[in-house]
Amino acid sequence: MDIIRKKVIIVFILLGASFSLFSQNNPLKLNSLYTADPTARNWGDGKIWLYPSHDVPCMGCYSSMNDYHVFSSSNGVKWRDYGSILSIDKLNQLGWNVHNAWAPDCVYQKGLFYFYFPVQGIVDKKWKIGVVSSKRPMGPFESPSLVVEDWGIDPSVLVDDDGRAYLYCQFKMGELNPDMKTVKEETIVNFSDVASIPYKNYEGPFVFKRKDMYYYVCSAEGYRRLVYFIGKKPLGPWDYKGTIMAPDTVHSENNHCSIVEFKGRWIIFYHRMVCGKSRNVCADFLHFNDDGTIQEVKRTKVGIEIK
């Protein structure tokens, strides 16, 4: 009996070790690519769609970010890479003369998927927000158009329940026209004018709506802390509410996130540094309090798995 008992114990130990290893889903397995600045979307087709930026391994320079990929997953663990959907080379062939393919976003509006991206002019150094469109969430994305300049980086777009769309960047926000390519000038406001900002440095906005509340999430404190604001209207004013994710004491790189509801669970997607300035996307579950405020998220190695 002792021998049988020992064998049973060993089997359980091995099974436990295997399960522990298997359940470590952070960072996400995105085809061995270094990715950051993840925008996650739920298009209602049973998949999470992920639109991140793409770091060149260990280059130590963000201007090495040359293109964008798109991924999808039905459970948050196994991801499909659809390949490069837009590149700096393609833009420059069309006369853009830019570099720095930084944090993007994608939204659906009236039969088309609109992919928004920031790039920097090589000569004038201005940050430009462009957009391409497609009939499918993985592309092909075509017809690049310039939307705005000098709004900073990191475009985020909210399509509200009434069909109106709003563009948010590092410094400014405003309502988009129905063409999704231009902004209504009379609606443009500076973020600093409609929010009490407790930190000097902020970037990476992501705006979403839950029930009757609008949430403006961004990075702050050297771009390492994820914080959020709540408003009653899509363009503010915004009330500061606190931290979603504290700075990483192990990986001291910047952070950037998006938040999505999928199969009844709320999920935050974010990134962490791996080597040099190359990063990997991670995901963890997120929870709301009864009053609509967000509970602070602790990073995990387990990550997410949704069945």
Residue spans per domain, the chain: 2-286
What's the predicted TM-score (pTM) here? 0.92
Q: Per-residue confidence at 274, pLDDT binned at 50, 70, 90?
A: confident
Contact 157, 107 (CB under 8 A): yes
| Mean per-residue pLDDT, 124-145 | 97
Angstrom distance (rounded) from CA 114 to CA 111: 10
Q: Is the pLDDT of residue 79 over 50?
A: yes
Domain boundaries 2-286, CATH class:
mainly beta
Residue reference for tokens 């990483």: 248
Rounded to 5°, angle at Cα 78 from 76 and 80: 105
Q: Per-residue confidence at 280, pLDDT binned at 50, 70, 90?
A: very high
Angstrom distance (rounded) from CA 233 to CA 259: 18
| Mean per-residue pLDDT, 290-299 | 97
The pLDDT of residue 283: 98
| Residue 206: both structure tokens together | 């992501």
The pLDDT of residue 22: 53
Backbone angles phi, psi at 218, to 5 degrees: -155, 170
Angstrom distance (rounded) from CA 163 to CA 76: 28
| Mean per-residue pLDDT, 197-214 | 94
Contact 188, 172 (CB under 8 A): yes
